[in-house]
Amino acid sequence: MLILKLGGSVVTHKEKPFTPHAENITRLAAEIAEADAQPLVVVHGGGSYGHPVATEYRIAEGYREPTQLTGFSKTHQAMVDLNGIIVRRLLDAGVPAFAVSPSSFIATEGGRITGIDLHVVERLIESGLVPVLYGDAVTDTSQGFAILSGDQLAVRLATGLGADRVVLGSDVDGVYTNDPKLDSDARLIEELSLSSRGGEAKIGDALNTDVTGGMQGKVAEAAEAVEAGIEVLLVNATVDGRVKAALRGENVIGTVLKR
Ligand code: ADP
């Protein structure tokens, strides 16, 4: 079983609010169809859909005042809209995609998924469908509500469903020695060993590695899957053919995370 996560930087134009990256979404739908890798679960991020609303209403900080309630719903609804676009493109490409709303069956505690009942997702997979989930605004047992990231969700689905591999698609080739957008000398690390102590992911080798921003959270989340013996591969989903090759298990430019 494979879990494919497509970053918000891939499926939306991150700088333009509520703008899907139609070209990437259509191309990736075709790549997923052509790879024909089943069983498969797709998770996508929020990019310019979820983030602007979540930030405006400070959803990630939890419940503080009633005015946030409409913001909580608007954040979720923005993700439903983006999910609708992605699922429709997958269906057009012939992938039996099926939208699954994370906030309908997942609650967090302090922003972290605790218990999760995956029976229905398992039934969908057994039926031959491709569940398509997303980072979402979810209820939270300690802070009222929270933002569940697509990265946390993808990894939790992988461990819960017993996936063999997780493919994390973003807008960079993988983990670099430094943010490649800020440092033109940054080098791609093809294999990265993680050591996890006290629940916090540490990068074992590549001492000169400076992982920040979205990539830092991604590697920290991925550590949980790596610990469970699941292979995690980071690839550039904005480059033609990379996701298809990754889904097929072919050699592809990227970073493999190891224990
Ligand atoms: P997505 O939206 O695709 O899930 P994010 O934008 O959250 O991805 O995270 C990926 C970003 O992390 C990259 O675009 C890059 O700018 C940044 N980043 C920071 N440090 C690194 C690093 N060492 N290697 C790769 N990317 C890095």
Tens digit of each residue's pLDDT (9 = 90 or more) over 178-225: 999 999 999 999 999 886 544 445 554 444 567 888 899 999 999 999
* Integer Cα distance of 25 and 10 in angstroms: 8
pLDDT at 203: 59
Distance (Å) from CA 45 to ligand 1 centroid: 13
**Which neighbouring-strand residues pair with 233?**
167, 256
Q: What is the pLDDT of residues 117-148, one digit of tens each?
A: 999 999 999 999 999 999 999 999 999 999 99
Alpha carbon of 95 to ligand 1 centroid (Å): 28
Ligand 1 atom having least distance to the Cα of 211: 23
Asked if 63 contacts 139 with a C-beta cutoff of 8 angstroms, the reply is no
Contact 151, 223 (CB under 8 A): no
> Could you tell me the distance, in angstroms and rounded to a whole number, from the CA of residue 200 to the centre of ligand 1?
18
In ligand 1, the atom with minimum distance to the C-alpha of 209 is 23
Does residue 178's CB lie within 6 angstroms of at least one atom of ligand 1? yes
Number of continuous H segments (helices) and E segments (strands) in the chain: 8, 13
Give yes or no for residue 48 CB within 6 A of ligand 1: no
∠ CA 30-153-62 to the nearest 5 degrees? Answer: 130
Nearest to 99 by CA among 120, 75, 70, 73: 120
Pick the residue whose CA is nearest to atom 18 on ligand 1: 179
Nearest residue to 30 via CA among 113, 109, 111, 93: 93
